Every structure is written in C-alpha cells, then in structure tokens.
Chains A and B, each alone.
Chain A
Amino acid sequence: MTDNNAKEIIKQYAIRLGDDALVQGHRLSEWCRNGPFLEEDLALTNVALDFIGRARMFYSYAADIDGGDYSEDSYAYQRDCRDFTNLLIHELPGGDFAFTMARQYLMDEYSLMFMERLCDSSDETLAAVAAKSVKESRYHLRRSRDWMLRLGDGTQESHKRLQKALGDLWGYMPEVFELDDLEQGLADQGIAVDSAALKGGWEKAVRATFSEATIDVPADDWSVRGGRQGMHTEYLGHMLSDLQFVQRAYPGQEW
C-alpha cells in the first residue's frame, strides 16, 4: 500500500468520525430554545457545541489530507446524503426529551470507551482529537446517565417514555459495534478503534444503569445498518436541507 493510499483511508475514517459528531451535534442543537427549562436548554446546547467542535477537528484533518481548496466546511456543507457516513442512530429525529437522553446515554457510554481507545491510536492527530474529546465525554456521560436514573426511576410517565425510547433505539446499536474492511484494516494497524471489542464493556455498563433506573433491557429482535456505506434513513436528507441551506443558497458565503 502506498503512503497516499494509506492517508486516503485515514481520511475516510476521519470523515466518518466527523460525520458522527456533526449529525449528533446538530440533532442536539435542535433543542436550543426548546429545552424543557432554561438550565437544561443551556446544558444540552453546550453538549451540542462539544460535538460540533469535534466534527470540526475531524473534518480539518480530512481537509489537510485532501489539500487544495478543501476545508472543514467542504465536508459539512457540500456533500449530499449518500456521501455522509455517520452511524444511523445519530440522524434519527430528536423525539421527546426521553428519546434524546436515551440516545445520548447509549452513545455517551460508547463514545467515552471509544475515545479512551483512540487516545492510543498510532495516528497522532486522531490521538490528539481523542485526548480532548475524552474529557468532554466524561461529562456528557455523567449528565446523560443521571437523566437515565431520573427518568427511569421517576414518574410513571417518564419511565414509560424512557422504556419506549430505548426500545425504538435498540436495533440501531449493533451497527455501532460492526467494522467493515476499512475500519478493520485500520484497527489492525493500530490506527482505528476496534469497536467490536468495546461491545462487552458497553453492555455491562448499560445493563448496570438500566437495572438502577428500573428499565428492562429491550429485546434483540431487530437491527438496521448502512450508515457507514451512505445508506441512510429518510431523516438525514431533511436534516441536511436544514443544516446546509445557507451554503446551498449562497455558495461560499461568509460572515
């Protein structure tokens, strides 16, 4: 494999992680001014900004590899639905507060483990982004886990909503722990994280939280996948039309 090829593959990996962060951050940002109360509104928006910052770091790295006129904006604003390679779970609409926090919790638990591993990546830039992200993820998890307990062990209504949300999300989780050839190859070289290896630890942590939150583990009877290959749910296109509107209407506009 030539050096250029190797860099190209790392770039694709960086874009995947950037897409995850951007889509997740954008969904959270939709809570801005819609939060259940002022304090939570600000807290959710802070978390959204952490993810958008993370997306910028991954995209900047990709732009460095692509060179030329590429910038972080090229990936966020100038690609279509099928070019996005985020995991499907991130693009689902925010739903109610229980759904948003349930998704956040499932992914925070994963992200923290993932970023801790990525700190050891032999790729220095990825490792540096991970080192910054780990601190953020620790706080995100503290918050979302707390909400799992409050909602799960809260009122009948909050329990019901959280249980339903987890059921609706559960089938999106297997994709998170699957590696295609690109990621497996990078993982074998010590560059990417072997996310399949995180599954055991993740399940253990999630089950412990569920049990404390008096939540039943949802049934493993369905699963969907395809995000890494650009096969998305119907929701991503609508989200992008919102996210990309200004750059589509006024290409290259700056302010």
Chain B
Amino acid sequence: MSDHMKLYEVFLRSKRGLDHKHVGSLHAEDAQQALEYARDVYTRRSEGVSIWVVNSSDIVASQEDDCESFYDPHDDKPYRHATHYQLPDEVNNM
C-alpha cells in the first residue's frame, strides 16, 4: 500500500513560542491523513502542541554538487559574524 502513498515531512512545535522543527517523515494518502498519522507517530509522548505536514515533493532542496559555489565563498568573510561585538550581559541567547 505504501507504494501508492505520498511521502510527507512532519514538523512539530514542542511548545508555544518555539519554532516548528522537522522531526521526520511518513506515508499517507492525503494531507489530512498525514496530519492524523503525524499525531499518532510523532506526538505519542506529548512531544508537540502543533503539527505541520508538507508534501515532501514540494520541498526544493539544495544539491550536494552546489556546495562549492553555495557555501565556500563565505568561509573567508569572518566580518559577517557578530563575534566582534561586545555583548552586554543582559543579552542572553545570541
């Protein structure tokens, strides 16, 4: 049956105020069923308060071949990092 079913990516928000995070994928016939299976497969231990499911085929992903042109040019530009600023102690979690 899985042969005919679509693949969905599952994103969970673990609590209010946090971002949805990718937790895995699953097979389902349609988006509604994917949402229910995401509930059953990924939230059985109270991992989430909100679920997104996305058709895996709708995700456009960067390719391994692009690594050189995509990421290498950033390696010699340390001034783009905020490491040269003195942060006041009151600022946490930067």
Contacts and interface: CB of A to CB of B under 8 A. Distances in A.
B64 interface: no
B74 interface: no
A67 B60 CA distance: 63
Interface of B: 1-2, 5, 26-29, 32-33, 36-37, 39-41, 44
Interface in A146-190: 146, 150
Contacts of B29: 150
A143 B32 CA distance: 10
Nearest to A154: B29
B36 A146 contact: yes
B27 A37 contact: yes
B36 A42 contact: no
B36 A36 contact: no
A137 B1 CA distance: 27
Interface string A129-145: 00000000001001100
A46 B40 contact: yes
Contacts of B36: 43, 142-143, 146
Contact of A36 (B1, B37, B40, B41): B1
A72 to B, nearest CB: 22
Contacts of A3: none
Contacts of A38: 2, 26-27, 41
Contacts of B28: 39
20 contacts: A36-B1, A37-B1, A37-B27, A38-B2, A38-B26, A38-B41, A39-B26, A39-B27, A39-B28, A39-B40, A39-B41, A40-B37, A42-B40, A42-B41, A43-B36, A43-B37, A139-B39, A142-B36, A143-B36, A146-B36
Nearest to A97: B1
A38 B38 CA distance: 12
